[in-house]
Structure 1
Amino acid sequence: MPRLLHCLHTFPPETRGGVQGYVERIARAQAERGDTVAIACATSDAEPRHDGWNGLDVHRIPALDPFEQLAAVNGEASEKAERWTRLIAYFEPDVVHVHHWQGLPLDLLARVARARPAARRIATLHDFFATDPTFFRMRPGPDGRADEWLAAPNESLDDTADHAAQVYGVEPATLRAAMPARQAAFVAELGRAQRLLCPSRTFAEYWSKIPAFAHLRPEVLPLPMPAGLEPVPPAPRGDVLHVGTWGGLVRGKGLHVLLDAVARLPASSVRVHHLGPELDAEYAAQIRAHAMAASLTLHGPFDMDGLREAARGFHLAVFPSLYLETHGMTVDEALALGLPVLVPDRGAPQERVDEDSVFRVGDAAHLASRLAAFVAKDAGAVRSGGAADVARSAGSHGSSQGSNRSSQDLNGHVAALMER
């Protein structure tokens, strides 16, 4: 059976996010079918360590900072980078699958090719980190507030550098000087992948318009629906519509847009429930001071058991993200729980719902009109179809991806990954 090595920026318990959850799921599925699987990730710790997580073998290697990454690509000696080379030689993988390069050598696939020439090289682009150190290509709005606008695909490298410098608190000139080399390193690295993947048609379309990367055409391989979640019984409906939303509490996820929409509806007709950690203390304070804070319950961090329990009280899930979500695991979770879903017209989630479930990104008035339709419905009409609604919503937005995703289970996804 093959030996498989998954490489990414972080892994639980240090951080838990969509990419980490996806890698954990496919790695476990591969191990269960008899493959020898290991995870290699960057860590903020000063020393490497080898441990385990939920039965998976995990190698944690101290992260390279952005300038150490470039120095290593340019041939400067780097003990952090060489640890990756030694791990590849030690583990002797038959397949190396890179999911993210933050903290990793930017020439990791080149190191694989040298240390293990016969190993198959796969890369999945989960976000836009290869093109922008800030991951999501979001820019401040006219009032200076962060994460309001999506950068144009043809944004200049200097403008990208200036925004990243502001986010990370470094001199713009320093990043301007480094960005051409960073871009060249990523173009070369992605070209080394024998199979380059991305999770959605939305990602592929935006990527194809970025001039330096347009020739690198990633193959769309939709992510599998989450396992272990089933439709919950419809929540009893009184006078209040209970709306659930979950994920990290940061401005880019758009909770303020949802609260602005609720403010346009009859008083006390909607209650919003947010589950997730507060990742931006300043934004969390703004949310608590919002005019509609009385209509909001912040439940804090959660696990899947907590989500299942909370969802029993929800009539609807809304994910008002301002980001160009390249997939959106939370939307999958809501669909699997049998909840109606509203999503913006930016990002991949719109591929998996019908047109009446989409609102204009950042447009509180349009979102309010969508919510008003649910407020007007009686208890039986808000959610009557249960699992049937999930299947219809998963494949009804007129894209081949939606219909593929609705039928693709985890084992089918793992098998598709290994196709040549």
Structure 2
Amino acid sequence: MKVLMAVQDYPPDFVGGVERTVEALCESLVGFGHDVMVFAGSGDRPREKTVERCNRSGVNIIRVKRSSTYTNPVDVHDPDVELEFDALVSRFSPDVLHVHHWFQTSSDLVWLAARRGIPAVVSLHDQWATCPLFFRMPEPEGAFCREPAGEEACLPCLSRHRPMEAVELQHSFRMRAASVASELELARAILVSSASHARHLAHLGAWPLTLAERVRIRPIGAADLPALPEPSVTGDLVVAHWGNLSSLKGTDILVKALSRAATGRQWTARILGGTSDPSFQGSLRDAAGDAVSLDLRPAYRVADLPRELEGVHLAAFPSLAEETHSIVLDEALQLGLPVIVSDRGALPERIGGRGVVVPAGDVQALAAALDSMADAGVRARHRAASPGPVARPRDYAEAVLEVYADAVREGAPVDHLGRDLARVRLAHRNARLGEIAAYLVQVDAERRRLEQTLAERSVADAARDETSCENGATLDGSSERELE
């Protein structure tokens, strides 16, 4: 089968949960003998659009870096990117398209494939389909927004966090919503990784009830790791936390909780991973002070995790985000570690009996959980308990192949006609350009009026000066005759 993947980015340029999931899926499919092509976006913004081609582990990748002149953070439609994508669909002629994300690519990928007779499957890995802010958290350490998507709830928030002129913001929001709705309606299946994520997306208005039957829960598999031997019960205890390090993921909350825990000095926090904020690790050291033993390690290779986490007694992921799955939790469960997680998103339903759940952001509750886990007997009970289902990359690839086969049998939708949202966008652009042209005409007319007024005043002033000179006026307004 020929499979075309579309995703916001792809390793090694950026390695997040979505990118790792897609990479593992692609490599598994190639291992099964399928022909896989990736169409990836990028966070890089060169002055001019660039297209890069490479092969990574048997997967052909086309990476499009959008021009830095592209500035709309709400409606991601990009005609230049869509031209590249449409040309790739024509050349590669896939049996099926799998869209993992539109961010950093463009908004109408399923529609473009449908025009060429290619059926599509869509995965919703996060909340982006319902909110341009991705995590639905306007404030990094604030509450998860549970308001269904709509202009009344969303526009005031977006005006603060994605500021633009009011008419443009409203139009961008409407076009974004129309694009997402169209893409999901044209997709033959909508994949989500957990029941929790499916419930949240349905509540938030990601799809209408008419599309509910197309939703498929397929737990993703991005890791395949062996269980670690149980560490010694003597000596210091080690709690591990890894991934993309940030306040959103609760990294600093773990350090604060250790500083408050009664058993805090018995623990060492082994923290692995990269961060987009160069000062973040410094802030962790400041928060730890002399009270918490920190073992900070850089970004890691997944294959090296068993070695990096040797001697670890516990994993902790006190995320503030409404986690849709959590690959790092997959890794912890496969490694056989007991875990502490927050109550956000899919985390509670996925750990089974393998650990405990604490309220997100509650430092004292996390400290109490760490004190409990300092007991070897408590850890042993959780370690022996069964977690929720944990898929491996091969399991996920096999499950997704079945969905692809169904989509190919069903074929591309024929109701894509009349869904050309690019025409709607173009009509809006033309209307706004017409408004701008009319405004410029007004400005030019006002300029000419002012120039005419200034010219008339200049003539009047010159005439007055000439008259004054004829009457013999001096600079102080007196006449020469008076001076005599």
* More divergent stretch after superposition (249-258 vs 410-419): 410-419
SS at match of 1:258: helix
SS at match of 1:205: helix
SS at match of 2:203: coil
Given the alignment, which residue of 374, 386, 393 partners 2:386? Answer: 393
Q: Is the 1:52–1:58 Cα contact (8 Å) retained in structure 2?
A: yes
- Counterpart position of 1:67: 72
SS at match of 1:12: coil
Given the alignment, which residue of 242, 249, 254 partners 1:253? Answer: 249
- Counterpart position of 1:234: 230
Given the alignment, which residue of 46, 50, 53 partners 1:47? Answer: 50
Counterpart AA for 1:113: A
Residues 1:165 and 1:269: Cα distance change in structure 2 (over 3 Å)? farther
Counterpart AA for 1:222: P
State how far apart, in whole Å, the 1-side matches of 2:65 and 2:252 are: 36
* More divergent stretch after superposition (256-265 vs 83-92): 256-265
State how far apart, in whole Å, the 2-side matches of 1:334 and 1:328 are: 10
Q: What's the offset of the Cα at 1:219?
A: 2.0
Given the alignment, which residue of 281, 285, 290 partners 1:288? Answer: 285
SS at match of 2:219: coil
Q: What's the offset of the Cα at 1:84?
A: 0.7
- Measured against aligned partners, the alpha-carbon deviations of 1:166-215 in whole angstroms (never above 9, x if no partner) come to 555x3373534421221122111111101111111111111111246343
- Counterpart position of 1:200: 194
Counterpart AA for 2:98: H
- Counterpart position of 1:398: none
1:354 aligns with 2:352: yes
State how far apart, in whole Å, the 2-side matches of 1:277 and 1:93 are: 35
Residues 1:345 and 1:40: Cα distance change in structure 2 (over 3 Å)? same
Q: Percent identity?
A: 27
State how far apart, in whole Å, the 1-side matches of 2:352 and 2:23 are: 30
State how far apart, in whole Å, the 2-side matches of 1:147 and 1:207 are: 21
* Long gaps (5+) in structure 2: 407-484
State how far apart, in whole Å, the 1-side matches of 2:308 and 2:173 are: 44
Report matched runs for 1:119-158 at 5 Å: 119-140=118-139, 146-154=140-148, 156-157=150-151
- Counterpart position of 2:37: 38
Q: What's the offset of the Cα at 1:238?
A: 2.8
Q: Is the 1:207–1:214 Cα contact (8 Å) retained in structure 2?
A: no
Q: What's the offset of the Cα at 1:280?
A: 2.2
TM-score for the superposition, normalised by structure 2: 0.75
- Counterpart position of 1:90: 91
State how far apart, in whole Å, the 1-side matches of 2:182 and 2:73 are: 18
* More divergent stretch after superposition (279-288 vs 47-56): 279-288
Q: What's the offset of the Cα at 1:292?
A: 4.9
Alpha-carbon RMSD: 2.7
Q: Is the 1:394–1:406 Cα contact (8 Å) retained in structure 2?
A: no
Q: Is the 1:158–1:176 Cα contact (8 Å) retained in structure 2?
A: no
Which one has a larger percent helix, Structure 1 or Structure 2? 2
Given the alignment, which residue of 262, 266, 270 partners 1:269? Answer: 266
Q: Is the 1:166–1:172 Cα contact (8 Å) retained in structure 2?
A: no
- Measured against aligned partners, the alpha-carbon deviations of 1:218-241 in whole angstroms (never above 9, x if no partner) come to 3211113622x1011122233432
Report matched runs for 1:12-23 at 5 Å: 12-23=11-22
Higher Rg of the two aligned structures: 2
* More divergent stretch after superposition (45-54 vs 198-207): 45-54
Q: What's the offset of the Cα at 1:162?
A: 4.7
Q: Is the 1:359–1:366 Cα contact (8 Å) retained in structure 2?
A: yes
Residues 1:410 and 1:106: Cα distance change in structure 2 (over 3 Å)? closer
- Counterpart position of 2:459: none
Q: Is the 2:220–2:393 Cα contact (8 Å) retained in structure 1?
A: no
State how far apart, in whole Å, the 1-side matches of 2:85 and 2:127 are: 23
Report matched runs for 1:108-127 at 5 Å: 108-115=109-116, 117=117, 119-127=118-126
Q: What's the offset of the Cα at 1:300?
A: 1.7
State how far apart, in whole Å, the 1-side matches of 2:254 and 2:315 are: 11
Counterpart AA for 2:387: A
- Measured against aligned partners, the alpha-carbon deviations of 1:286-329 in whole angstroms (never above 9, x if no partner) come to 32221457422221211124321121121000001000110100
State how far apart, in whole Å, the 1-side matches of 2:73 and 2:278 are: 29
State how far apart, in whole Å, the 2-side matches of 1:35 and 1:190 are: 25
Report matched runs for 1:212-231 at 5 Å: 213-215=207-209, 216-217=211-212, 218-224=215-221, 226-227=223-224, 229-231=225-227
Residues 1:351 and 1:71: Cα distance change in structure 2 (over 3 Å)? closer
1:184 aligns with 2:178: yes
Residues 1:385 and 1:364: Cα distance change in structure 2 (over 3 Å)? closer
* More divergent stretch after superposition (106-115 vs 208-217): 208-217
State how far apart, in whole Å, the 2-side matches of 1:71 and 1:232 are: 43
State how far apart, in whole Å, the 1-side matches of 2:9 and 2:149 are: 28
- Counterpart position of 2:473: none
- Measured against aligned partners, the alpha-carbon deviations of 1:51-91 in whole angstroms (never above 9, x if no partner) come to 11122111112337463995858xxxx33221111110010
- Counterpart position of 1:409: 395
